[in-house]
Structure 1
Amino acid sequence: MVKMLTNIGTKPGSTASMGERTMKGLVVYYSATGNTKKVAGAIRRGMSKLLETELASVKEITPESVADYDLVGIGSPIWYFRETANVRRFIYQVPSLAGKLGFVFCTHGTAPLGIFHSMVPLLKEKGLTIIGWGDWYGSVYQVLHAPKPYFTDGHPDAIDLEEAERFGRQMAERALRIATGETDLIPALPRGRDADPTFQPHPIGEPFPGANPKRIIKVEECWYPDCTACEDLCPVSCIDLGADPPTFGDSCYNCSLCNRICPPGAIKLEGEAAMRMQPLKRIDMTKCKYPECTLCITHCPMDCIDFTQDPPVFTHACEGDDLCWTICPEGAIEIVNLDVTHAKMWEGFRDARQDPTRHPFLEMLREAEAKGRFRPLVPMEQIGWDNPIFKIERTPRFAIEDLLADPPAKESAANTAANGRATGGTTAEAEPATEAGENRKEGS
């Protein structure tokens, strides 16, 4: 079995100060609707060809246990042009990973924006050495203003998953070589205007005009200086808790992470724009089957649904991903401000039907297709322009057991073209793709 040197800077032929031991790999991820789960499983299969590798959701593993592994891959869908709040919180709680190797991956819809710009610096702060990255397109189910069928539906398919498996093997092979001294294989991280979109911050502050609320911190509720989570986790470092009163800088792009991960809920959204920024939900207990049914609780990424109160409440930690609304078998979850949130964002797609160049995400998709990075599986004439997800009346809108089911037995994709972007200084191997979502949320 291949052995690793615990000091990744050790030169070939020298002796590691901590001796030799078997390398262990971990692929940890969050997936709302199965896209990221499928990609993560394929990556793990590829890694397992060369080293012992485990697979776990962030809802199944403790942050502390990540330090037990030598090669760590962390994956997330793109929501609000960043990783999901539960993945970012998970990374924040991970202990030091100094001396460990790692890679990042994601899934998304039409716009692969910002996620690695957010994830990678936080992982580097933990001491992790990033040796690769990859993104894949995916189907959309919980973005309620998205047309159905959607532009990226059908992904990840067999071709995507074969590509993800190759990427996993490549990461394992690279890690083994780096661990035995070939540190020149550690890739430079993309920077600047020409960097991949996943490594660039996304500047959009409004999903549509009038939906950019101001934030304030209720100092009487805030735990500072004992808690600095919002300041530490802000993707653009725009929060100054030391100011009096605390301030949010001009670089804020309205990702809403801070108000969702604040333990006491001290960060408040102000003004009418707050009503347009996030769907407000309530549960109709005349329809709800709790406690016999707990699907919404089980699958909530931030554990924000509280049935101990009467009526049940959605806490400030709600990501606004609307998965619960999508999967509720009884249709008991209602969005009370649908007309000023998803209905308003759907207008952008409706306008793009007449002129696709008017929607920036569709322009990105066309550019990706022209470069061979995207394979459309849904013909444009079949896009559900008049059928946004929020208009689906059947319940559940989508069955969660179907979304999270393991993919069928692997099919051959030998004669197909490359379809994504698995990178990180890779050699001449196929590059991975991405997952689904849209506008302020980008995948699952």
Structure 2
Amino acid sequence: MDIQSVKVAYFSPTGTSKTVAQAVAQGIGLNNVEQIDITQPGARKQPLKVASNDLLVAAVPVYAGRVPGLLMGWLQSIEADNSPCVCIAVYGNREFDDALLELKETLEKQGCKAVAGAGYIGEHSFSAEDTPIAVSRPDEDDLKHAQAFGAKIKEKLDSLASADRIPALEVPGNHPYKEMVGGISADFIEVSEACTQCGICEDLCPTNAIDYENDVMVDVDSCIRCCACIKGCPENARSMKASKVKEIAKWLADNCKEPKQPVNFL
């Protein structure tokens, strides 16, 4: 196939999905690469068009085994023209469950043809000093794996005459998809006196859930528990307080210690 460009799209509040997607794109090795960061709300208002000679590399974090719900509107607005795509689910060392299948099937409904899929591990959003979960993942080995995966994708594309020749891609997952988790309060962040009201947390928040006049105030109905504000605070002023989210973090830290490895589907 004559692929002219790579479009790398990612939702990545804490940077893990972005890092993996960029490593895969690096392995693919084309010079014409466009970065499409849909982490911030404004970016998700811009629809994406993908041509038949574009390769879309789409990476999303896994939220309780599913594609984050706030991404579905943007994903379902993509306009593709029998365009090859790579689907990547980045998860916090538990399971990616149905997220990869959901991402693949959503993109295919928009006119993409899935040529490859993958599950990679990223440091869990809930990971902290007292609840370490996949700390510093993706690590160097993960990124080497992602680059090698990209090279294999390029080899596969080069072996095919057209997108019509892409065989059906099988990835793990179930129908119906895993039920969305609900009923967990997002009132889990506490802010210490170290907060300087610098506004960095506001800029990092992918849902505008933090008050622009007072960084301590969080709209719990908008918060998606990505913890970008906690991990990105330069003063370490934000942390998890006793809450259901903290209980989940402790459970994950206790029960998901064994490092999982990336998996590829070609």
Which residue does 2:243 correspond to in 1? 340
Which residue does 2:185 correspond to in 1? 278
Q: Give the AA of the match of 2:59.
A: G
The root-mean-square deviation of aligned C-alpha atoms, in Å, is 3.4
1:121 CA displacement: 2.0
Q: Distance in 1 between matches of 2:113 and 2:141?
A: 29
Task: Write out aligned runs for 1:104-183 (5 A).
Answer: 104-112=87-95, 113-140=97-124, 142-143=125-126, 147-150=130-133, 152-178=134-160, 180-181=161-162, 183=164
Moved more, 313-322 or 56-65: 56-65
- TM-score scaled by structure 1? 0.50
Q: Distance in 2 between matches of 1:104 and 1:253?
A: 21
SS at match of 1:32: coil
Which residue does 2:85 correspond to in 1? 102
- TM-score scaled by structure 2? 0.79
**Is it true that 1:294 corresponds to 2:199 in the alignment?**
yes
Q: Distance in 1 between matches of 2:30 and 2:216?
A: 52
SS at match of 1:329: coil
Change (3 A) 1:332 1:122: same
Structure 2 unmatched ranges of 5 or more? none
Which residue does 1:200 correspond to in 2? 174
Q: Give the AA of the match of 2:12.
A: S
Equivalent pair of 2:121/2:138 in contact (CA under 8 Å):
yes
Q: Among 143, 163, 168, which residue is 1:187 paired with?
A: 168
Structure 1 unmatched ranges of 5 or more? 5-21, 191-195, 202-234, 237-251, 257-273, 353-358, 375-418, 425-444
Q: Give the AA of the match of 2:7.
A: L
Deviations 1:120-143 (A, max 9, x none): 222122111111101222333x30
Equivalent pair of 1:88/1:119 in contact (CA under 8 Å):
no
Which residue does 1:78 correspond to in 2? 62
Change (3 A) 1:97 1:423: same
SS at match of 1:129: strand
Which residue does 1:45 correspond to in 2? 26
SS at match of 2:196: coil
Which residue does 2:264 correspond to in 1? 422
**Is it true that 1:255 corresponds to 2:181 in the alignment?**
yes
Q: Distance in 2 between matches of 1:300 and 1:97?
A: 29
1:307 CA displacement: 2.1
Identity between Structure 1 and Structure 2 (%):
17
Equivalent pair of 1:36/1:75 in contact (CA under 8 Å):
yes
SS at match of 2:242: helix
1:105 CA displacement: 0.8
Which residue does 1:57 correspond to in 2? 37
Q: Give the AA of the match of 2:148.
A: R
Q: Distance in 1 between matches of 2:238 and 2:140?
A: 34
SS at match of 1:79: coil
Change (3 A) 1:147 1:119: farther
Equivalent pair of 2:211/2:219 in contact (CA under 8 Å):
yes
1:108 CA displacement: 1.7
Equivalent pair of 1:107/1:136 in contact (CA under 8 Å):
yes
Which residue does 2:223 correspond to in 1? 318
SS at match of 2:231: helix
SS at match of 2:35: strand
Change (3 A) 1:27 1:313: same
Q: Distance in 1 between matches of 2:91 and 2:117?
A: 14
Q: Give the AA of the match of 1:118.
A: E
Equivalent pair of 1:23/1:52 in contact (CA under 8 Å):
yes
Equivalent pair of 1:132/1:187 in contact (CA under 8 Å):
no
Q: Give the AA of the match of 2:229.
A: C
**Misfit runs of 4+, over 6 Å:** none
Q: Give the AA of the match of 1:169.
A: A
Equivalent pair of 1:85/1:302 in contact (CA under 8 Å):
no
Change (3 A) 1:253 1:167: same
